[in-house]
Amino acid sequence: MTMEQESALASAQRQFDIAADILQLEPGLRRILRVPQRELTVTFPVKMDDGRIETFVGYRVHHNITRGPAKGGIRYHPNVTIDDVRAFSMLMTWKCATVNIPYGGAKGAVVVDPRQLSMGELERLTRRYTSEISILISPDRDIPAPDIGTNPQVMAWIMDTYSMHSGHTVPAVVTGKPIEIGGSYGRREATARGLSYVLREAAEALSFPIAGARIVIQGFGNVGATCARLLEEMGATIIAVSDSKGGIYRRNGLPLAAVVAHKQRTGTVTDFPEADRVTNAELLELPCDILVPAAVQMQITARNADRIRARIVGEAANAPTTPEADAILYDRGIFVIPDILAGAGGVTVSYFEWVQGLQEFFWTEREVNAQLERVMVGAFNQVLRTAHERRVHMRTAAYLLAVNRVADATRIRGIYP
């Protein structure tokens, strides 16, 4: 197996090992933090609309809960594996620790293509999966959230199922809920907004203003499209965007509102009449100031890293860059804002949603965004300082901060019994 084909977990562990070596982490702590603490696999039946009974496999993994309740999304995807869930649960531990919010890391999944299910089937699957993992979830133990293939409606069913079992309404058991039942203002845009704050800070650190910066975005979904709009509001020029079908490029800037309307009408950005078509591979190699991978993992690899022509790469997606590519980008002086920092706006506002639910006291959107900016800018500056002090790239710096926080918490609490 080549490095490029290694599993998501092996890649996450390799990244952890780099930080553990620099921190000279004691062998016992290394053994604890390298693997998930707790895993649940469930096989459960769902009545389909035609009367058949199908069985589905689901997972919920807690990587670490030393710093607080487990936090992480639930993915519905036909190809998801337990190994992916382990890797993403580990990334969640580091993401929460990087922005210093009091959570551990978790991830859940069901092996299913949700687009093949009716609404009724999706609801029954979600409610039964919730029931199966209810031995793990609760507002003070494990708080799920949306991920690929799930959305606020799925979170509403999880909240309702858990509440039915409890006999009273428990909004704080999930985040990413609809506003009407205790969701937070600003949650839907939070990942993109958090990213826009750190991109603005990064541009400033590299001595160019975000206003006028030329931006390329891979993935035009919730995060990518919102990020495009927010960066345009900051005065940046979006020159290329893409979705799973391909990308579009216009040297002088895309008319964003028209691209959004085209995507709504046709389901894709491709074939937008006033731009050139590019493939997703070509898009990544366009000359620009800021490249934002906001689609899927493993996009920047040893194969294309030497052709990336951005000054900053802001990782909205989880794990879009392989460790080999990281080293190449660093050597070429490209400033990478790693996923565990750049993509942490979502979990940060999830944390605010949980706090609001527990207190039953809700904030305005302005308050949410101001607190998000404080957390993201503070974390960015800490990671940047660490990178300078330790002479490492931003990903390793973020890992050093995050792993150290979890290691410290473990040492202070001690090993039970």
Ligand X SMILES: NC(=O)c1ccc[n+]([C@@H]2O[C@H](COP(=O)([O-])OP(=O)(O)OC[C@H]3O[C@@H](n4cnc5c(N)ncnc54)[C@H](O)[C@@H]3O)[C@@H](O)[C@H]2O)c1
Catalytic residues, by residue number, are: 107
* Total of chain residues touching ligand X, rule CB under 6 A: 21
**Nearest partner of 179 among 380, 365, 381, 393, judged by Cα:** 365
Is 218 one of the binding residues for ligand X (CB under 6 A)? yes
Q: How far out from the chain centre does Cα 225 lie?
A: 15
184 in a known ligand binding site: no
Helices (H), 103-213: 119-132, 152-166, 190-205
4 CB-near residues (< 8 Å, 6+ apart):
298, 301, 302, 303, 322, 324
Tokens 């920092």 map to which residue? Answer: 341
The answer to whether 166 is annotated as binding is no
How many other C-beta atoms are found inside a 10 Å radius of the C-beta of residue 239?
23
Q: What is the 8-class DSSP label of residue 252?
A: T
Is 245 annotated in a binding site? The answer is no
Site for ligand X in 275-314 (CB under 6 A): 280, 294-296
Q: Per CB under 6 A, which of residues 4..33 are in contact with ligand X?
A: none
Binding-site member from 183, 219, 323, 357 for ligand X (CB under 6 A): 219
Calpha distance 117→93 (Å, rounded): 32
Rule CB under 6 A: say whether 144 interacts with ligand X. no
Q: Measuring CA to CA, which residue among 87, 157, 81 is closest to residue 126?
A: 157
Residue 118 CB, nearest distance to ligand X (Å)? 20
Report in angstroms how near the CB of residue 34 gets to ligand X at its nearest: 23
Q: Residue 350, annotated ligand binder? A: yes
- Taking the complex as a whole, the smallest distance from the CB of residue 292 to ligand X amounts, in Å, to 10
Interface stretch with ligand X, choices 12-20, 101-109, 165-173, 316-324 (CB under 6 A): 316-324
Asked if 266 interacts with ligand X (CB under 6 A), we say no
Q: How far is the CB of 71 from ligand X (least distance, A)?
A: 12
177 labeled part of a ligand binding site: no
Say whether residue 36 binds ligand X (CB under 6 A).
no
> What does the alpha-carbon distance between residue 94 and residue 263 come to, in Å, rounded to a whole number?
34
Burial of residue 36, with CB atoms counted within 10 A of its CB: 0-12 exposed, 13-18 middle, 19 or more buried: buried
Please give the residue ranges that form the binding site for ligand X (CB under 6 A).
Answer: 148, 191, 218-224, 242-244, 280, 294-296, 316-318, 343, 346
Q: Which residues are annotated as a binding site?
A: 71, 95, 191, 222, 350
